[in-house]
Amino acid sequence: MQLALVAGETSGDLLAGLLLGGLRQRWPGLQTGGIGGPRMAEQGFEAWWPHDKLAVRGYVEVLRHYREISGIRDALAQRLLAAPPQAFIGVDAPDFNLGLERRLKAAGIKTVHFVCPSIWAWRGGRARKMAASCDHVLCLFPFEPELLHRHGVAASYVGHPLADAIPLQPPRAAARQALGLRDDDSVLAVLPGSRRSEIQYIAPVFLQAVAQLARARPALRFLLPVVPGLRELLAPLVQAHAPGVALQWLDGQSHTALAACDATLIASGTATLEAALFKRPMVIAYRMHPLSWQLMKRMRYQPWVGLPNILCRSFVVPELIQEDCTPAALAQACGQALDDTRHAAAVQQRFEELHLLLRRDTARCATDAIAQVIQA
């Protein structure tokens, strides 16, 4: 069995790595290649290009890298058309994958898209394009298949693999011991994103908020998980915006940080769902190029940006986006998240319910669906 996969950025690499575990159980001699990262490599995946080539968000940022990304997609398409796999699996990254899938499907290659694009949040017109691109869509959330079926897209709910990978009861004590933290330490995890553009726009304001919190709360401990390859970009920003603050740097280990912390200051994205599955109070924030924000804001269908709030259909945790994302506002919201124990208990209860809803043995469900597509 030969399958090709494309996963963009850290979150896609994580999801694809979990999926590959299930695929290998079904097909022990499985050979896989395409675009991916370290989590996929651990499952024997051969990366022809690194996943961080696709880790770009925002219209302006994409335009700057368009020629390179377009060239990679064309080269990958030619390679797969010359030596067709049994199926192609695009993991998220819809702007890259859907166009590639359409080309491959037209040539008779089975195509599966893992992670339904958020057509329920913005850019709903993409649903029509998916019918020409995807033989099947694997959906992470239970309400998505019905939306796709209305547009003639075959889809199934497979749950979220993170809900299987993250325990229902977070290992707080073990995580704190591993990081050298006391049980009574007050701990804030700071996650400014996994893309270079996010570090550019979000990390400075996060670090300025950290500096304010450190002055107001000298005993507060800060954890800073860093995606491999971004430490060199982040280090000078720490020196510029939070000099002298005792940040505890972690190479990766975002799950350990989320298990150990009392609350987290976190960039909007898949990491917010991870924080929810760890049942942590959080402050969700985001900044991007102003022009990109103006374009995206006009296409929003919902008042929420963060995945936990979208899935719970309410502002369970605060969101501070673009102009509202200021150091003072972030510091104040983080202080409230750390101090309000009643709110923390309510958040934990909502996120436990969400965790149970998303737990479905995703690797097995997804593998079953992929097998049916290949055999059809």
pLDDT of residue 197: 85
* pTM beyond 0.85: no
Q: 226 has which bridge partners?
A: 251
**Which residue carries 């390179």 as its tokens?**
68
Sign of the C-alpha dihedral, residues 90, 91, 94, 96? negative
pLDDT of residue 143: 87
Q: Is 7 exposed, middle or buried (0-12, 13-18, 19+ CB in 10 A)?
A: buried
| Strand (E) or helix (H) holding 148 | helix 144-149
Q: 87 has which bridge partners?
A: 3, 110
pLDDT of residue 166: 95
Cα angle 311, 314, 316; round to 5 = 90
pLDDT in tens, the chain (376 residues): 999 999 987 888 988 998 999 999 999 999 999 999 999 999 999 999 988 777 655 555 556 667 888 899 999 999 999 999 999 999 988 889 999 999 999 999 999 999 998 776 666 677 788 999 999 999 999 889 998 998 899 999 999 989 998 999 999 999 999 999 999 999 999 999 988 889 999 999 999 999 999 999 999 999 999 987 889 999 999 999 999 999 999 998 999 999 999 999 999 988 999 999 999 999 999 998 888 777 777 666 568 889 999 999 899 999 999 999 999 999 999 999 999 999 999 999 999 999 999 999 999 999 999 999 999 8
pLDDT of residue 124: 67
pLDDT of residue 121: 61
CATH 3.40.50.720 fits 2-159+360-375, yes or no: no
How is domain 165-358 classified at the architecture level of CATH? 3-Layer(aba) Sandwich (3.40)
pLDDT of residue 62: 56
Residues of the chain with CATH 3.40.50.2000: 2-159+360-375, 165-358
